[in-house]
Amino acid sequence: MAKLILLRHLLSQWNEENRFNGWIDTPLAEGQSKKAKELAQKIFRFKIDKIYCSILFRNMDTVARILEYDKKYPLYVHLDPGKMKDWGHFKDISQYDIPVYVTEKLNERYYGKLQGLNKKEIIEKEGGEIVRLWRRSWNQAPPGGESLQDVFKRTVSFYKKYIENDLKKGENVLIVGSHNSLRALVKHIEKVSDKKIINVEIPYAGVIEYNFDESLKLRAKKTL
């Protein structure tokens, strides 16, 4: 039975400052080592065969930090067209190395004109309900940004092209992404309705474990 693990990145500096992150490449906040160790203990209880990750630094750094506790070194490989013609051959790599396939398809929602702005200030200016719709609803996008529906199209198409094939082979896969790319995957996997997806939240460093049979039928879900 194949396992799929979804992991939201560790707290970033702009998360801590209550800013809209989006595609801005901010570092992780200070003091994340203890949480990284806790995540490693949860995730590496069983073998992980493949790791897929957003290209944003806060996601890639989260991967590096949790792998430290599994005594492995990440080898980052771009899967996006035009980034690398040769994705690399990993037959003879060290047992301490693990390929991490990175892609823009797993990036956070693009928040457009809101990126870098303080969330509390925007709520005070625009109103809490409209900001909630921009952040959590299915088809309403922030000014100049992406809706969850837009994120769903790029994220789920990538999932079907690459990750479903791994799961069909019985491989255990870890996906490290941002909130809305993971919410899009949850919507797809759990068949959450357009109306109910607004209530789906994944905390920073949140972990969801799915178990699939050989036909990719979902057998179990667990929040770690």
Q: What is the CATH number of the domain that holds 146?
A: 3.40.50.1240
Residue 7 lies in a domain: yes
Which DSSP string do the residues of 202-213 spell out, in sequence order? Answer: --TT-EEEEEE-
Catalytically active residues are 9, 108
* Stated pTM of the model: 0.94
Residue 67 lies in a domain: yes
pLDDT digit string, tens, across residues 134-161: 999 999 999 999 999 999 999 999 999 9
Confirm whether residue 219 is marked as ligand binding.
no
- Residue 78 annotated as part of some ligand binding site: no
Nearest-angstrom CA–CA distance, 200 and 173: 22
Structural domain boundaries enclosing 72: 2-34+47-171+189-210
pLDDT in tens, 21-69: 999 999 999 999 999 999 999 999 989 999 999 999 999 999 999 999 9
Confidence band (pLDDT; 50, 70, 90) for 91? Answer: confident
Residue 8 assigned to a binding site: yes
Helix ranges (DSSP H) in the chain: 13-16, 33-43, 57-68, 119-126, 128-136, 148-158, 164-168, 179-190
217 lies in a domain? Answer: no
Distances (CA, A) of 204 to 39, 218, 220: 11, 24, 22
pLDDT for residue 87 is more than 90 = no
Q: Is residue 220 domain-resident? A: no
Residue 71 lies in a domain: yes
| 42 within a domain of the structure (yes/no) | no
109 is in an annotated binding site: yes
Count of domains for the chain: 1
